Chains A and B, each alone.
Chain A
Amino acid sequence: MLQCSDMTVLERQRARLKWQEEHFQQHQQESYFSELSGVFSSQTGHVQGFHQGGLMSCGGAAGGDSVLSDVMMTRQLKPDPGLETAWPELGKKVDMGAMGFGPCGYGNGQSFDMNQAISRTSSCPPAMAAVEAVEVKGNLEKMGLAVGRESFKKRKVEKLQNSKVVAEDDSKRIKASEEEEEESKITGPNTKKSSNNNKETSGDTSKENSKVSDVQKPDYIHVRARRGQATDSHSLAERVRREKISERMKYLQDLVPGCNKITGKAGMLDEIINYVQSLQRQVEFLSMKLATVNTRLDFDIDNLYGKDVFPSCTSNFSTVGNMPPELANHPPYVQFNPIQQVVSGCGVEMGINSSDMALRRTISASVLIPDASLLNTSCFTGMQQIQPSAAWDVELQNLYNVAFTGSIEGSDLKMEM
């Protein structure tokens, strides 16, 4: 019987759609409003409003939706000629779980002139779906009225017509829940502002307000004036801007090594300039070195795996030539994080000549030997058998560890020269 099959179908689909609608509820409502109003532009006003009202109810209802969407799914086959253009498009959206045409058929099968299957399915499972049906109707009506009163965000829908057509039983319950729903609906678009207001009244800083409002994209930024400060809009905006700037400056202070002692914007900017310049010079130098390596060694990716860290370091030693061993054993050089030390070294010296470059190279090489454990030499030797793609990931992970830990630790250490 159609009844039995519907029940199994309903049960199956209800579980699936329940979680779906939770996720898509808000989002779908609006999108479906827009799509539906476009779809139904050719339809009569009555039908249009009805459909949209049904959709609203579907979006809002808890358990009833599954019934409706189930009904939708079962009836897709023979659309009414009047609704022919509409149904196929709507049929595509069934999976989204917010189909609202069930209640339309349910509440008003006769006026709808839908196919037999629909009216049968809608009327048939009263036992199990009675509660949900009532809920659906209730939702339908309250949603219709709520939306009608509210003119929900972008869509103007003729739902008022629809709401009257729906059955009127349980009107009291409907009205009671309707109040809630309507309130929640109305405050829906305003929740952002109200939450801002709540935060304001709770006495949060203006900075937090502006953060919150930036995240939630309201029409304007709520800023609370501090005690004893000017309250006109210009100074408030100015204060917000200053706070943002100082926030960014603090972040830069953490980023640039050795800026903890320096206070004052100009000095900080000075340090930042120095640091950026030194980093850029380093990049230039490293890329030149990379180019020479490229030409000399016929750069081959696979060679990277086979090399052990120690041989590479020793080769660096040999290429430099006059490698002063005492410098390598110098405690300050060895102890510090190699990346940090090279960076700060570059930052201090303004004029860089080639001998200095060579010196720094050796220092970095010598200090990296103790840090070879980071690069996991055993991993490298084992990599020869691994497929290149997998080895890439491992090596990249190691490189990333070196790079990331280097950048993290960089802010803590400063080498005094």
Chain B
Amino acid sequence: MKEQRRVYPMEPRTIMQTSFAKTYLNYLLPELANIGKPASSLSVDRYVDKEIEKTVRYEVDMALALSAQGFAWSHALEHKLRLNVNNNNQVGKSQSYLSHDGYRNTMPVNHEPATEKLEGNPKRSGTEAAAEEEERLTYLRKLIPGGSGEMMLDDEILLSELGSYVSCLELQVNVLRSVLQLN
């Protein structure tokens, strides 16, 4: 990954959101139509289903990456997808760029009392809170595509990337659900 310091202000996100659905579907639906016309030699069996699942998942992710240009995570996602396509032979099960760890089982849940402010509570020991935060941030870095890059080491950037990623995921979910409802 290139080491370039890019600032992502929050305003472009709103610009992107307004055209997200359109861009997303413009990419996804023709791709799905292409998938839907398989070669006649393929017979419908479980293997093909898995293949189709993988392909659909790939297209879904790629549509997300292409509809949300200008963010580090979208760039990383696109890059990862293209790499995975090239290494497709090795993967047996359906691909996703996610890796789910047993996070919820190992990490204790600490909901602080409402009196605390967001910036930090002087009553709480600084190191303990910082360690917890770091733990969570590390996990977030695993969740977001491209989270292990150098750019995401900066908390600021990580949080703004998270904001755009979350909103794009929401939009994606809504679009996909709408498409499925129509069919």
Give every chain B residue within 8 A of A294 (Cβ-Cβ).
32, 35-36, 52, 56
Q: How far is the CA of A399 from the CA of B155 in the complex (A)?
A: 34
Q: How far is the CA of A269 from the CA of B140 in the complex (A)?
A: 8
Q: Is the interface of A mostly helix, strand, loop or mixed?
A: helix
Nearest to B129 among chain A residues (CB) is A266
Q: Is B25 an interface position by the 8 A CB rule?
A: yes
Give every chain B residue within 8 A of A261 (Cβ-Cβ).
114
Q: Is B93 an interface position by the 8 A CB rule?
A: no
B171 lies within 8 A of A404 (CB) = yes
Q: Is A184 an interface position by the 8 A CB rule?
A: no
Contact check: which of A265, A289, A307 meets B182 at CB < 8 Å? A307
B180 lies within 8 A of A266 (CB) = no
Q: Is B71 an interface position by the 8 A CB rule?
A: no
Contact check: which of A251, A287, A403, A410 meets B56 at CB < 8 Å? A287
B111 lies within 8 A of A267 (CB) = yes
Q: How far is the CA of A393 from the CA of B33 in the complex (A)?
A: 18
**With A252-B162, A404-B21, A407-B167 known to touch, is A399 a contact of B183 (CB < 8 Å)?**
no
Give every chain B residue within 8 A of A350 (Cβ-Cβ).
104
Q: How far is the CA of A299 from the CA of B34 in the complex (A)?
A: 9
Q: Is A283 an interface position by the 8 A CB rule?
A: yes
B166 lies within 8 A of A290 (CB) = no
A272 lies within 8 A of B181 (CB) = no
Whole-angstrom distance from the CB of B5 to the nearest CB of chain A?
A: 12
Q: Is A334 an interface position by the 8 A CB rule?
A: no
Q: How far is the CA of A299 from the CA of B182 in the complex (A)?
A: 12
Contact check: which of B17, B53, B104, B117 meets A291 at CB < 8 Å? B53
A266 lies within 8 A of B112 (CB) = yes
B114 lies within 8 A of A339 (CB) = no
A214 lies within 8 A of B129 (CB) = no
B178 lies within 8 A of A300 (CB) = no
Nearest to A405 among chain B residues (CB) is B174
Contact check: which of B49, B94, B109, B159 meets A245 at CB < 8 Å? B159
**With A248-B160, A266-B129, A276-B144 known to touch, is A407 a contact of B170 (CB < 8 Å)?**
yes
Give every chain B residue within 8 A of A354 (Cβ-Cβ).
none
**With A272-B140, A276-B165, A396-B25 known to touch, is A287 a contact of B60 (CB < 8 Å)?**
yes
Contact flags A221-244 to B (C-beta < 8 A → 1, else 0): 000000000000000000001101
Contact check: which of A276, A287, A313 meets B166 at CB < 8 Å? A276
How many B residues touch A, CB cutoff 8 Å?
78
Q: Is A282 an interface position by the 8 A CB rule?
A: yes
Nearest to A274 among chain B residues (CB) is B104
Q: How far is the CA of A312 from the CA of B96 in the complex (A)?
A: 28
Contact flags B17-37 to A (C-beta < 8 A → 1, else 0): 110111001100110110111
Q: Is A364 an interface position by the 8 A CB rule?
A: yes
How many A residues touch B, CB cutoff 8 Å?
76
Whole-angstrom distance from the CB of A277 to the nearest CB of chain B?
A: 7
Q: Is A273 an interface position by the 8 A CB rule?
A: yes
Nearest to B32 among chain A residues (CB) is A299
B110 lies within 8 A of A266 (CB) = yes
Contact check: which of A262, A292, A397 meets B111 at CB < 8 Å? A262
B171 lies within 8 A of A407 (CB) = yes
Whole-angstrom distance from the CB of B48 to the nearest CB of chain A?
A: 8
Give every chain B residue within 8 A of A214 (Cβ-Cβ).
7, 9
A283 lies within 8 A of B35 (CB) = no
Give the residues from 209 to 229 in chain A that come closer than 8 angstroms, CB to CB, to chain B. 214
A265 lies within 8 A of B114 (CB) = no
Contact check: which of A284, A307, A404, A410 meets B183 at CB < 8 Å? A307
Contact flags A270-306 to B (C-beta < 8 A → 1, else 0): 1011011101101110111111111101111101100
Nearest to A289 among chain B residues (CB) is B180
Give every chain B residue within 8 A of A316 (Cβ-Cβ).
181
B30 lies within 8 A of A290 (CB) = no
A396 lies within 8 A of B132 (CB) = no
Q: Is A387 an interface position by the 8 A CB rule?
A: no
A273 lies within 8 A of B103 (CB) = yes
Give every chain A residue within 8 A of B179 (Cβ-Cβ).
290, 304, 399
Contact check: which of A270, A293, A397, A403 meets B171 at CB < 8 Å? A403
Contact flags B59-83 to A (C-beta < 8 A → 1, else 0): 0100010000000000000000000
Contact check: which of A252, A275, A298, A407 meets B159 at CB < 8 Å? A252
Q: How far is the CA of A242 from the CA of B155 in the complex (A)?
A: 10
A276 lies within 8 A of B162 (CB) = yes
Contact check: which of B96, B144, B166, B177 meets A364 at CB < 8 Å? B177
Give every chain B residue within 8 A of A304 (Cβ-Cβ).
179, 182-183
B173 lies within 8 A of A284 (CB) = no
Q: Is A94 an interface position by the 8 A CB rule?
A: no
Q: How far is the CA of A395 from the CA of B133 in the complex (A)?
A: 43
Give every chain B residue within 8 A of A399 (Cβ-Cβ).
21, 25, 175, 178-179
Q: List 14 A-B contacts (CB under 8 A).
A: A214-B9, A252-B159, A263-B117, A266-B133, A267-B111, A277-B143, A291-B56, A295-B48, A309-B182, A342-B177, A343-B173, A350-B104, A404-B171, A407-B167
